[in-house]
Chains A and B, each alone.
Chain A
Amino acid sequence: MTRLPMYRRGRLQGFAGAFSSELIKLRQSTYWICAAAMAAFMAITMVIAVPGPEVTSDRGPAGLVLSSEALTASDGLGRSLGNSITFIGIVTLTVVAINVGSEYNHGVIRNLLVRQPHRTRLFFGKITALMGYLTVAVVLASTCGAVLAELLAGSDVETGAWWTRAGLAASAGGMGNVVVATWGWAAFGIALAMLLRSAPATIGVGVAYALPVEILLVELSDDLSRWLPGQLFQSLARGGSESVDHTGALVGSLGWTAAATVLALLVFRYRDVPD
Chain B
Amino acid sequence: MSDVAIATDNLTKVYGRRHAVDRLTIEVRAGQVTGFVGPNGAGKTTTIRMLLGLIRPTSGTAQVLDRRLADAPSYLHRVGSLVDGPAFYPRLSGRSNLRVLARLATLDHRVPHVLEVVGLSDRADDPVATYSLGMRQRLGLAAALLPDPSLVILDEPANGLDPAGIRDIRRLLRRLADDGATVFVSSHQLSELQEVSDDVVLLRKGRLVYQGALAGLIAQNKARITVRPEDPEHLVVLERIARDNGWSAVVGQGTLVVGAQSGASGLLNRAAHGQGVTLTELSSRPPTLEEIFFALTEEEE
Interface residues of A (CB under 8 A from B): 13-14, 17-18, 20-21, 24-25, 27-30, 106-108, 110-118, 122, 272-275
Q: Which of B46, B83, B84, B105 has the most CB of A within 10 A?
A: B105
User: Number of contact residues on B: which range applies?
Assistant: 20 to 34
One of B73, B84, B147 near A110 (C-beta < 8 A): B84
Nearest-CB distance from B230 to chain A (Å)? 58
Contact B85 A107 (CB under 8 A): yes
Nearest-CB distance from B43 to chain A (Å)? 12
- 0/1 per residue, B89-132, Cβ < 8 Å to A? 11110001001111111100000000000000000000000000
A272 CA to B84 CA in the complex, in Å? Answer: 15
Q: Which of A18, A27, A110, A275 has the most CB of B within 10 A?
A: A110
Contact A113 B53 (CB under 8 A): yes
Contact B100 A25 (CB under 8 A): yes
The verdict on A117 contacting B87 (CB below 8 Å), with A17-B103, A24-B99 known, is no
B contact residues around A28 at 8 Å (CB): 89, 91-92
15 A-B pairs with C-beta separation under 8 A: A18-B104, A21-B99, A24-B92, A24-B100, A27-B96, A30-B91, A106-B90, A107-B84, A111-B87, A114-B52, A114-B54, A115-B76, A117-B53, A272-B56, A273-B49
Interface of A is mostly: helix
B contact residues around A106 at 8 Å (CB): 87-90
One of A17, A24, A108, A272 near B105 (C-beta < 8 A): A17
A25 CA to B96 CA in the complex, in Å? Answer: 8
A103 CA to B105 CA in the complex, in Å? Answer: 19
Contact B91 A107 (CB under 8 A): no
Contact B99 A115 (CB under 8 A): no
B contact residues around A112 at 8 Å (CB): 100-101, 104
The verdict on A116 contacting B105 (CB below 8 Å), with A21-B100, A25-B100, A272-B56 known, is yes
A contact residues around B99 at 8 Å (CB): 21, 24
Contact B54 A108 (CB under 8 A): no
Interface: B79 (CB within 8 A): yes
Contact A110 B89 (CB under 8 A): no
A108 CA to B128 CA in the complex, in Å? Answer: 13
Interface: B143 (CB within 8 A): yes
Contact A21 B104 (CB under 8 A): yes
Contact B87 A110 (CB under 8 A): yes
A99 CA to B147 CA in the complex, in Å? Answer: 25
A217 CA to B100 CA in the complex, in Å? Answer: 42
- 0/1 per residue, B63-96, Cβ < 8 Å to A? 0000000001100100101011101111110001
B contact residues around A114 at 8 Å (CB): 52-54, 76, 79, 81, 83
Task: Name A110's closest neighbour in chain B (CB-CB).
Answer: B83
Interface: B55 (CB within 8 A): yes
Contact B89 A116 (CB under 8 A): no
One of B55, B73, B146, B147 near A273 (C-beta < 8 A): B55
Task: Name B80's closest neighbour in chain A (CB-CB).
Answer: A114
A20 CA to B100 CA in the complex, in Å? Answer: 8
A contact residues around B101 at 8 Å (CB): 21, 111-112, 115
A contact residues around B49 at 8 Å (CB): 110, 273-274
A110 CA to B76 CA in the complex, in Å? Answer: 12
Nearest-CB distance from A63 to chain B (Å)? 37
State which residues 165-220 of B face A: CB under 8 Å: none
Task: Name B75's closest neighbour in chain A (CB-CB).
Answer: A117
A contact residues around B81 at 8 Å (CB): 111, 114
A contact residues around B46 at 8 Å (CB): 274
Nearest-CB distance from A117 to chain B (Å)? 4
B contact residues around A110 at 8 Å (CB): 49, 52, 54, 83-84, 87
One of A25, A27, A115, A275 near B146 (C-beta < 8 A): A115
Contact A118 B55 (CB under 8 A): no
B contact residues around A24 at 8 Å (CB): 92, 96, 99-100, 103
Apart from A21-B100, A24-B99, A115-B104, list 8 A-B contacts with CB within 8 A: A17-B104, A28-B89, A107-B87, A113-B52, A114-B79, A115-B102, A122-B104, A274-B54
A contact residues around B84 at 8 Å (CB): 107, 110, 275
